[in-house]
Structure 1
Amino acid sequence: MRQRGLPTPKCYHIMDFADLEPAGQHVGFPAILKPAFGAASMGVHKVCSVQELVDTFRAVRATMDVHADTIWSQGTDLLLEEFYDGDEFDIDALMSKGEVVYVSLSDNWACWEPWFQETGMNIPSLYPVEKQEELIRFGSEALHALGFTDGAFHVEVKYTSRGPRLIEVNARMGGMCVRDANLRTWGVDLVEEHIMTALGIPIRPRKPPKPLVCFAQAAVNAPYSGVVESGDWLEGLNKYAHCKLKRYLVAAGAKVIGPEDGMPDWVAEVIFEGPDVAELLEEMREAVCGLPVPIRPCREEARRGWFFPDFAYPFTRP
């Protein structure tokens, strides 16, 4: 990418403790420590000093157990990467015969730092149109620079004080609700289109001029460590007509991790659909923040309400 004139983050490959000091010297602080392999922001953490890098490396490595989660069979190396300010976005793209034939930009909600567990997203984006165009152009240039030609891609970017910057390119469709979000909002099935490219069939999906529906998803983080005491705590969402999915990700009796002990566990997924994305976000904030917290804390002093990122974009807009 640098050879193509595109900005790239400072980065250092970490295989063991011996790599930590030179990594910190090369990248600087603050920085992002992240697994070289994985998904869904697992193990991603902001670090602000060498000592914090050492402590966090030790904590993250301890969670990378192949027997507990086979995703780590790909490898347990980590990366230290330059931290970017600004708002975060996902670009879902389809390529056919070397051409980007479909793009969709979605807003990512702010994470519960220093962990970077995902908290939610919405599509279409509420960002200023000219900045959306910059991000989409940058994402397309990144795909071409890396030599990709066909298939589905999930490009993670930020709009920083220095303009668009790349977080990472995933040479696959995005996870969780990404397929549903694109299918519901734009009528484009990323799985179908990707399969056709794998079979050598050219694709050119038609994206409507306006969204078919607006889509918002909340990935509800455990606010503290403890034991889930209820199996029906999402039922209060039934009164919201725009609530299309409520999914329990942990059962009653399960132990969950909160941010005081590590990357917070997801405890539920909630999806709202409606005609106006801004109104949808306000309704979802009311709905999620009004849910009871069904967790008996391990330590009473850790008890708190749900984390909801209404202090940041897209809930506050530029």
Structure 2
Amino acid sequence: CDKFTQRQLLAEAGVPIPAYRSAANATDVESAAAEIGFPVILKPAVGNGSYGVRLCCDVDELAEHTTYLLGGKHIWRSEPRILVEEFAQGPYYWTDVMANEVIGVCAADFGPLPHFVIRECTYPALLRDDEHKRIADISLSCLRALGLGWGPTNIEFRWTKRGPVVIEVNPRLAGGIAPQLVQLAYGIDLVTEHIKLVFGEEWNLRKRHSQTAAARFLIPDRDGIVDWIDGDSEAAAVPGVAEVKLNVEPKTPIVRKGDDGDWIGHVIAASSRLARTEAILQRAVDLIGWSITPFPAPNKNNLQAATDEA
């Protein structure tokens, strides 16, 4: 779970990874970014869900995000330590692995930079056989390098100019809806099979069918108070839709932070063909609507009075 130590072990094993440095303070961060070259990724050395992860394209953005991470706004789960990484640019994929078997590869797209909030994912990814094999082979190399291979592993990649580059290895099932996508695509219930493994029972990773499953995450374009959100029932009634879930209700305050907590809902669909699944998903998403009233702007007189009192 320590991303710096993980990077060291992967590098020693020859696994392709981005250039990286560890930093404990603002001076270290600035020095590391200068060595790697902009743009860089700043992230907590321990964490998940893209919490605290941001792309920094210049020294001003670097200083701003360093201040955010070290200035008391970010909640640290361990001793504050920052990972500074090369920005590996290219399509994003993840693999779901159980023991030493790669179950499948998922493709995902993100919302606007500088944050990394997944907007849509498709399972399985549309890859050539040789591309799939390359990602699968590197996935197994990660397991060997980190001493994993007993149970589930989730491995994230970017396909760059030099091929697949490992972004992160998670020694667990992928979070959120990922196991559901696998079940819709292949009929494999990874949660149940993992439980069987824990209890020493025989598991079954055989694919029961082959479909294309996809999910779209609902992401607001502003902060504020939710006035209304609806259309979920109509979206759920669209043939081929597997799930519609809304995470907010009217009067919920929305404060975007550039991580998975920004999702206000999702829609999942599945069918026998990618184009059909995408059409189902779009039709369902179009039926969902919401309105958000921005927070009132601070009153200048109140701000001045508060300043005078201070």
Q: What TM-score results when the alignment is normalised by the length of structure 2?
A: 0.83
What residue number does 1:37 align with? 46
For the residue of structure 1 that corresponds to 2:110, the secondary structure is: coil
What residue number does 1:215 align with? 213
In 1, the alpha carbon distance for the partners of 2:296 and 2:161 equals 40
What residue number does 2:308 align with? none
Contact 1:123/1:216, CA 8 A, preserved across alignment: yes
In 2, the alpha carbon distance for the partners of 1:63 and 1:254 equals 22
Unpaired stretches in structure 1, ≥5 consecutive residues: 66-71, 301-318
For the residue of structure 1 that corresponds to 2:65, the secondary structure is: helix
Q: CA deviation at 1:78?
A: 2.5
Task: Check 1:174–1:262 CA distance in 2 against 1; reply closer, same or farther (3 A cut).
Answer: closer
Task: Check 1:207–1:76 CA distance in 2 against 1; reply closer, same or farther (3 A cut).
Answer: farther
What residue number does 1:296 align with? 293
Q: How does 1:26-105 map to 2 (within 5 A)?
A: 26-61=35-70, 62-65=72-75, 72-95=76-99, 100-105=100-105
In 2, the alpha carbon distance for the partners of 1:202 and 1:243 equals 32
Q: CA deviation at 1:73?
A: 3.0
Contact 2:235/2:287, CA 8 A, preserved across alignment: no
Task: Check 1:249–1:22 CA distance in 2 against 1; reply closer, same or farther (3 A cut).
Answer: same
2:248 to 227, 245, 250: 250
What residue number does 1:205 align with? 205
Q: How does 1:41-190 map to 2 (within 5 A)?
A: 41-61=50-70, 62-65=72-75, 72-95=76-99, 100-190=100-190
Q: What TM-score results when the alignment is normalised by the length of structure 1?
A: 0.81
Percentage of identical aligned residues: 26
Contact 1:109/1:119, CA 8 A, preserved across alignment: yes
Unpaired stretches in structure 2, ≥5 consecutive residues: 1-9, 298-310
Contact 2:242/2:270, CA 8 A, preserved across alignment: yes
In 1, the alpha carbon distance for the partners of 2:24 and 2:289 equals 42
In 2, the alpha carbon distance for the partners of 1:298 and 1:228 equals 10
For the residue of structure 1 that corresponds to 2:55, the secondary structure is: strand
Contact 2:230/2:289, CA 8 A, preserved across alignment: no
For the residue of structure 1 that corresponds to 2:289, the secondary structure is: coil
Which protein is richer in helix relative to its size?
2
What residue number does 1:308 align with? none
Contact 2:152/2:194, CA 8 A, preserved across alignment: yes
One-letter amino acid matched to 1:225: D
For the residue of structure 1 that corresponds to 2:249, the secondary structure is: coil
In 2, the alpha carbon distance for the partners of 1:295 and 1:147 equals 47
One-letter amino acid matched to 1:10: A
One-letter amino acid matched to 2:218: V
Contact 2:241/2:280, CA 8 A, preserved across alignment: no
Larger radius of gyration: 2
In 2, the alpha carbon distance for the partners of 1:63 and 1:283 equals 40
What residue number does 1:310 align with? none
